[in-house]
Amino acid sequence: MASNSSDKVLRGSPGCTDARANALRALAMDAVQAANSGHPGAPMGMAEMATALWACGVLRHNPANPHWADRDRFVLSNGHASMLLYALLHLSGYALPMDELKRFRQLHSKTPGHPEVDVTPGVETTTGPLGQGLSNAVGMALAEQRLAREFNRPGYDIVNHHSYVFLGDGCLMEGISHEVCSLAGVWGLNKLIALYDDNGISIDGPVDGWFRDDTPARFAAYGWKVIGPIDGHDVRAVGSALEEAQASTDKPTLIVCRTTIGQGSPSRAGTAKVHGEPLGAEEIAKTRTAIGWPHAPFEIPAEVRAMWDATEVGQARETGWKARFAAYRAEYPAEAADFERRMAGELPANFDALVQAAITGFGDKPEAVASRKSSQKVLAALAPQVPEMLGGSADLTGSNLTDFPGCEHRHISYGVREFGMAAIMNGVALHGGLIPYGGTFLTFSDYSRNAIRMAALMKKRVIHVFTHDSIGLGEDGPTHQSVEHVPALRLMPNLDVWRPADTIETAVAWASALRRTDGPAALALSRQVLPVATTPALADAIARGGYVLSEAAGGAPRAVLIGTGSELQLALKAQALLAGQGVPVRVVSMPCTSVFDRQDGAYQDAVLPRGLPAVAVEAAQPDFWRKYVGREGGVVGIASYGESAPAAALYKHFGITAEAVVAEVQRCLAA
């Protein structure tokens, strides 16, 4: 049956007889009214769906411990319905007092405009950009499936929880929903249960004019179990659907819940107007009468509170799990310790030694290779002993070189789905127990960009392996050649962008990305072979993001050359050419500008002395480097799109050469 057709017999059904659901409605409309901003329609429309999941013991969670490892995950993918989630958390007993609901959308409240992870206890991910919450939920379910396979033992299902996600028309219209739901079907994520708020409305009005997909057929085609359409305002119907969904052994489930946006509001229900603006005092009063909710704003009668309170059952559930985990620990102490370590996000105890040994090994056998190959060598050295690393590629494994010997069960072929991969990785990282990394060509980072941004905003450890990072990829031409990508990614707050120049720099970049617990990293790696530039003795310096690689010889430096990645060699060559002309210059390698920026000022000044002319060289859009070289310095880069030709011809054609660097230095010194 088509779900987005006009036969919505259930739309406008009177309903609103469940006091638990009405409590959610009232809190949502009152908080939005108090803030004079927000979205009352979706919370009011999903009130019964939420009641069925949260107030009837279906969701296994413990309000006293939002971090319990085996809790069910709940994602509100239609994040504009944030007040629904805040009301649920408050009523269930999370540390979210009513005062916070009264401060909805105010500065530094725990109730921001859209849900934000690590701001509000119980919020599992930051949502708002439609489609990505759903994708995060797929990632969470993927993590659950993988950890269950890895850690569960006969009689001990210590990893055994569901991922529930609420989503609306908007999430389903977004292309990423296709990417990730297709994968969820392939992976058979039977613990993933999605509840679709099928209200036929989005911001511009009834969706019939722009969204007529047969959603149930679409999901059936992905290999999902589809339940409904059901009456989304019937708590029992949603409850039975949830029970049926939980019984699925091999497929994710979509429950199509037909609802009315703004349900309960006599004149706004079923209209786009209720989507994103307060109801107004008059309509709120009418709604109170219509749903039989005589209580003052933010007042919840004790008997309704009691129906919602999940603290006791939640505590009992976690206690039960803890007892099972204790028995597991007695029988499988090593597995239990490893599980706890990984869920805490701690690296293996021998991690530092592993990195050190790898770097020493690379120093012992220096080899000129592409930095993508360096990355693979690093993976081969580290990943077998860091079992939480979960790799992948968006159908470019052989180019990204994200695989490593023995990775068969730890490397995912995401297919050609860069955005989906990135948002799924965010979900994996949010779940915990795994450190996701995934590869594609740097140019296609644009496809994933908002998910990279979400990882940066959420401060989650996700590692992007972006290879073929410049015109240096050659013949594939300008569609594939990155120009603005590295500088543009550097502008993203809290993303570390590494562009290493050789294997040791690549090893340090990987180690830094893995050690980071407060944000994502992107590695920009070359397709083409790069010479060896560093030694193991430089590892600590490299870890500072920028460092003096080669000091001026034959006198105090008259200029500083800054190079990254594949162009570092040009800086070194220019240094030699300038030395021949009696001009001593220093070469600074700057593999990660944000890490360099986090060093103290004295260090930064020591590396890039004030008053000394600086010239940067990087096969990328040049403007970013003005931050370091100033107007008086020079940048050798490329401000246009590339061309299709062999790499060497392109470097020459675009003037990214040691000679060009020399000329820039001379220009600066003459000025």
Ligand X SMILES: Cc1ncc(C[n+]2csc(CCOP(=O)(O)OP(=O)(O)O)c2C)c(N)n1
Active site residues: 418
Q: How many CB atoms lie within 10 A of CB 351?
A: 16
354 binding ligand X? (CB under 6 A): no
Query: Which partner from the list ligand X, Mg ion, none does 521 bind, CB cut-off 5 to 8 Å by kind?
Result: none
CB-nearer residue toward ligand X: 201 or 572? 201
Q: Strands, E, within 163-316: which ranges?
A: 163-168, 192-198, 201-202, 205-206, 225-231, 253-258
42 binds ligand X, rule: CB under 6 A = yes
Residue 469 in contact with residue 486, Cβ under 8 Å? yes
465 binds Mg ion (CB under 5 A): no
Number of residues counted as binding ligand X (CB under 6 A): 18
Q: What does the longest C-alpha to C-alpha distance in the chain come to?
A: 89
Tell me the angle at which helices 19-35 and 47-54 cross, rounded to the nearest 10 degrees.
Answer: 120
Report the residue number, 453 or 573, with the smaller CB distance to ligand X: 453
Q: Tell me the site size for Mg ion, rule CB under 5 A.
A: 5
**Which lies closer to Mg ion via its Cβ, residue 131 or residue 168?**
168
How far apart (Å, rounded) are the C-alpha atoms in residues 426 and 671? 49
Q: CA angle 65-69-70, nearest 5°?
A: 105
Of 202, 402, 467, 506, the one binding ligand X by CB under 6 A: 202
Site for Mg ion in 322-341 (CB under 5 A): none
Shortest distance, CB of residue 207 to Mg ion, whole angstroms? Answer: 7
Closest distance to Mg ion from the beta carbon of 39 (Å): 11
User: Minimum CB separation from ligand X for residue 166, in Å?
Assistant: 10
Residue 133 sits in the site that holds ligand X (CB under 6 A): no
Q: Which of 211, 198, 189 is nearest to 166 (CA)?
A: 198
Exposure of 604 in the CB half-sphere (CA atoms within 13 A): 14
Which 8-state DSSP code applies to residue 395? S
SS3 content of the chain, % helix, strand, coil (to 5): 45, 15, 40
DSSP code of residue 387: T
- 203 interacts with ligand X by CB under 6 A: yes
Q: Is 527 in the site for ligand X (CB under 6 A)?
A: no
129, 131, 168, 565: which one contacts Mg ion (CB under 5 A)? 168
Give the Cα separation of 161 and 158 in Å (integer). Answer: 9
- Reported residue count of the chain is 671
User: Does residue 520 interact with ligand X by CB under 6 A?
Assistant: no
Q: Does 261 bind ligand X (CB under 6 A)?
A: yes
Residue number with the shortest CB distance to ligand X? 168
200 vs 314, which CB is nearer to Mg ion? 200
| H or E element, residue 557 | none
Who's near 329: CB < 8 A, 6+ residues apart?
A: 336, 337
Of 168 and 545, nearer to ligand X (C-beta) is: 168
Which part of the chain contacts ligand X (CB under 6 A), choosing from 125-133, 306-314, 323-331, 485-493?
Answer: 125-133
Nearest to 112 by CA among 137, 60, 76, 61: 76
Which DSSP string do the residues of 587-623 spell out, in sequence order?
A: EEE-S-HHHHHTS-HHHHHHHS-TTS-EEEE-SS-GG
Residue 130 binds ligand X (CB under 6 A): yes
> Judged by CB under 5 A, does residue 169 bind Mg ion?
yes
For Mg ion, which is the closer residue by CB, 201 or 578? 201
Give dist(CA 542, CA 428) in Å, integer: 29
- The mark string for 193-232 relative to Mg ion (x by CB under 5 A, - otherwise) is ------x-xx------------------------------
Amino acid at 249: T
Q: What are the φ/ψ torsions at residue 543 (nearest 5 degrees)?
A: -65, -10
- Nearer to ligand X among residue 277 and residue 309 (C-beta): 277
Name which position in 72, 100, 150, 169 contacts ligand X (CB under 6 A).
169
Q: What are phi and psi of 69, to 5 degrees?
A: -60, -40
Q: Are 210 and 181 in contact (CB under 8 A)?
A: no
Contact region for Mg ion (CB under 5 A) — 163-171, 209-217, 540-548, 632-640?
163-171
571 touches which of ligand X, Mg ion, none (CB within 5 to 8 A by kind)?
none
> Taking contact as CB under 6 A, which single stretch among the options 26-34, 164-172, 391-399, 624-632 is the one that binds ligand X?
164-172
Binding mask 115-154 for Mg ion (x = CB under 5 A): ----------------------------------------
End-to-end CA distance of the chain, in Å? 75
Residue 85 interacts with ligand X (CB under 6 A): yes or no: no
Q: Which residues bind ligand X (CB under 6 A)?
A: 41-42, 78, 80, 128-130, 168-171, 174, 199, 201-203, 261, 275
Residues contributing to the site for Mg ion (CB under 5 A): 168-169, 199, 201-202
